[in-house]
């Protein structure tokens, strides 16, 4: 169920000349800069981590600076030709990617090099992302008199209004339209949580991709050449720290609060619920992998899960499984306080 690497002897570090290093850095810079200005931004942390694993932390820091500068140059022509609000939105988005995705991606590099647990790395990156988003908001308000969060809220309200109007025009029942409007309002109310959910997906994709890259495997072998090495960054190994339960409890009391504390609690609850949903998916992936059913069997299992998701059944069950995995290790079928338990947080 857990991928391992076996190495009989030490692997020498490949010697890289200055020319090769310069070409590699130029390639990393160009590819990462294009990620900043395209939907491929979901792999920015993977690029930072891959560069750090191959070329060192200083190279990763240099990549962070150079790629952001090139990305700013790439968006400058369109920003200069647009209105002040559109230009501020473009630069605010770039600053948000830099502070909430790229910087946390670089910050977790030492944790990744130590092979710390998937869930711990993910939670640390998310905490850094929250700080990055807050700094982005304050910076744009101070220097550009522009609020990225307010712009996101306004866009969410516009999208919701158009969608509700479209459903009403299509002749859907009034109850269904009212139900849709209610959920759209909830979505706007919990917009910060949805932004962090996007960030979570970014880091999950990047860490899983890193675990499949040859540079990471070679790094593991160089670090412990005579040992069987477990790869912690397989999705099936995602296990969240137990202290996240406190955040779930704090978010759970939001219905009895009012005003800003209620909104903060609701966003915490939405975010933590999604994290436990991801852990539930990891448990499901682990079960499927342990059965040895092969590609077709795995595809059938995921299709069945998708059908249950459409019925609204599986998301709740997966959230419950992820939540109670903090008490029971479902992937090992025993209590976490068992004397033989080796899968601890």
Cα angle for residues 114, 120, 123 (degrees, 5° grid)? 130
Instruction: Give the span between the Cα atoms of 63 and 106, in whole angstroms.
Output: 10
Q: What's the pLDDT tens digit per position in 33-67? A: 999 999 899 999 999 999 999 888 999 999 999 99
> Residue 229 is inside which H or E element, if any?
strand 229-230
Q: What's the pLDDT tens digit per position in 180-217? A: 788 888 888 888 999 999 999 999 999 998 888 887 77
Per residue of the chain (345 residues), give pLDDT as tens: 445 554 444 444 455 677 788 888 999 999 999 999 998 999 999 999 999 998 889 999 999 999 999 999 999 888 888 888 888 999 999 999 999 999 999 999 999 988 889 999 999 999 999 999 999 999 999 998 999 999 988 888 888 888 888 888 887 787 877 877 888 888 888 889 999 999 999 999 999 988 888 877 777 777 665 555 567 888 888 899 988 888 888 888 887 778 888 888 889 999 999 999 999 888 888 888 877 777 777 777 777 777 777 666 778 888 888 888 877 777 775 444 444 333 434
Per-position b or e across 109-139, b if 16+ CB within 10 A of its CB? beebbebebbbbbbbbbbebbbebbebbbeb
Which residue ranges make up each domain of the chain?
4-147+192-237, 239-338
Residues 6+ apart with CB under 8 A from 345: 117, 119, 120, 239, 240, 241, 242
């Amino acid at each position: 169920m857990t991928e391992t690497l076996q190495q009989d002897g030490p692997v020498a570090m490949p010697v890289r000349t200055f020319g090769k290093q310069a070409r590699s850095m130029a390639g990393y810079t160009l590819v990462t800069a294009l990620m900043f200005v395209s939907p491929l931004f979901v792999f920015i942390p993977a690029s930072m981590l891959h560069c750090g694993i191959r070329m060192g932390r200083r190279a990763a820091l240099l990549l962070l600076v150079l790629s952001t500068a090139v990305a700013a140059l790439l968006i400058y022509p369109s920003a200069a030709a647009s209105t002040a609000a559109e230009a501020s939105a473009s630069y605010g988005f770039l600053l948000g990617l830099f502070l909430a995705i790229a910087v946390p991606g670089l910050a977790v590099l030492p944790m990744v090099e130590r092979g710390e647990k998937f869930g711990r790395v993910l939670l640390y990156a998310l905490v850094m992302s929250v700080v990055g988003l807050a700094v982005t908001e304050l910076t744009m308000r101070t220097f550009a008199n522009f609020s990225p969060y307010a712009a996101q809220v306004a866009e969410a309200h516009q999208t919701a209004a158009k969608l509700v109007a479209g459903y009403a025009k299509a002749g859907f029942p009034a109850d269904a339209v009212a139900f849709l409007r209610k959920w759209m309002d909830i979505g706007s109310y919990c917009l910060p949580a949805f932004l962090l959910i996007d960030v979570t997906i970014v880091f999950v994709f990047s860490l899983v991709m890193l675990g499949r890259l040859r540079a990471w495997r070679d790094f593991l072998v160089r670090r412990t050449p005579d040992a069987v090495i477990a790869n912690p960054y397989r999705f099936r190994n995602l296990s969240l720290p137990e202290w996240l339960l406190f955040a779930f409890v704090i978010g759970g009391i939001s219905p009895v609060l009012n005003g800003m504390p209620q909104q903060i609690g609701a966003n915490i609850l939405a975010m933590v619920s999604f994290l436990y949903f991801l852990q539930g998916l990891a448990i499901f992936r682990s079960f499927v992998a342990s059965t040895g059913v092969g590609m077709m069997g795995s595809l059938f299992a995921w299709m069945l899960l998708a059908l249950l998701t459409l019925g609204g059944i599986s998301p709740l069950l997966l959230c419950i499984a992820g939540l109670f995995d903090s008490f029971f290790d479902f992937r090992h079928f025993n209590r976490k306080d068992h004397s033989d338990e080796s899968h601890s947080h």
